Structure 1
C-alpha cells in the first residue's frame, strides 16, 4: 500500500484572503494520486485558526457532568436556538500546553478546578476546509457549588454553567439536544469509562 507524506503535496501558491479574528488562506496545490502520477492543480480555501482544547468535567462521586451553554455564531442560520450545550473549551495562547489551556479555560468559563486530566483523543473537526485540531480531555472535578453565569467580560462571554446527571446528558446527546462534535465524542467516551472512573475515584476529597 502506498504511504503518502507531506512531500507528496505541492503547494504552488498560498495567499491570505482574509485576516481578522480568524484567517482564510487561498491555496493552489496538487498532490500525488493513488493510481500514480500527479493530479491537477486545485484551488482550496483554508480556514486557519489556533488549535483548541475541550474538556468534559466529570464528578465521579455524584456521577455528574458540568456543561456550558452559550450562543454560537455557527448555529445562527441552522438552529432555532443557537445557544449550544457544550464542554469547557478554548483556543491556545502562544506558548501554552494543552493542559495549561484546559485549566485556564475551566477557571474562566466555569470557575472550576480540574483535579485530574484524562486525555481522550486529538482530532480534526473539519479537515476538508480547516486546519484546526482539537485536544479533547475528560477531567475529574468536584461539582459541589458549581453553576451560575461565568465568562470573561473582556471577551463578551455570557456562559451559563450547570451540573447534569450523566444519564441526563447522555439522553440529551441521543435526542439531539447536544449536537456538537466535542460534546458527543466526550460523552460517548464517558459512557464507556464512567464505571471505571467511579471505582477508581476513591473517597470524595
Structure 2
C-alpha cells in the first residue's frame, strides 16, 4: 500500500514533464487529460470517471502544493527547474494539501458482530471532492513516510522530474537523463577549453 501511495503522489507530480522538444509539457491542461490520467490510475475514482473543469482546477491546485512540498523535501538540493521560480510557500502548500485531504466526507458506520461490542468506523462518502482528497491523502502519506528521504529532483538538462533514489550512486531519474548530463558536461569542458585557447 505504501508503495502505491508513493507512486500515486509521484505520478501526480510527474504530470509536469519535459516534452522531448526542449519545453515543459503539462498533462493536465484540460479535463480530458485529467480523465485519461485518472483512468490510468485505478482506485482514484470509479470506472467511467469523466473530469470536469472544477475537478481539473482542484487537482492542478493540489499538484502545485505537492510540487512545492517535494521541493522542500529535496533540500538542500535544488527543486525541479519546472517550477523552481514559482513555488508556493511551504505554509500555503501545507494548508492547501490539508484542505484538499479534508474534502472527502465521511460518515459513521456501525458494526456489531454477534457476541461483540458495537464498533463505529468512518466510511468515505462518494462526493465531489473524493478525487482530490484521495490524491492529497496519498501525498500526505508519501511526505510523512520513509520514501520522502529518497526523493530527488533530476537535474539533467531539460528534465523536470522528481524520482525516488533506488541506489546510492543514482543521480538522475532514468539512464537517458544520465546520458544527457554526461554529454552536457563533456560539451561544457570542451567549450571551456576552447575558450581558454582562444584567449
Normalising by the smaller structure, the TM-score range is under 0.3
In proportion to residue count, which structure has more helix?
2
In proportion to residue count, which structure has more strand?
1
Give the number of the structure whose alpha-carbon radius of gyration is greater: 2
TM-score of the superposition, structure 1-length normalised? 0.26
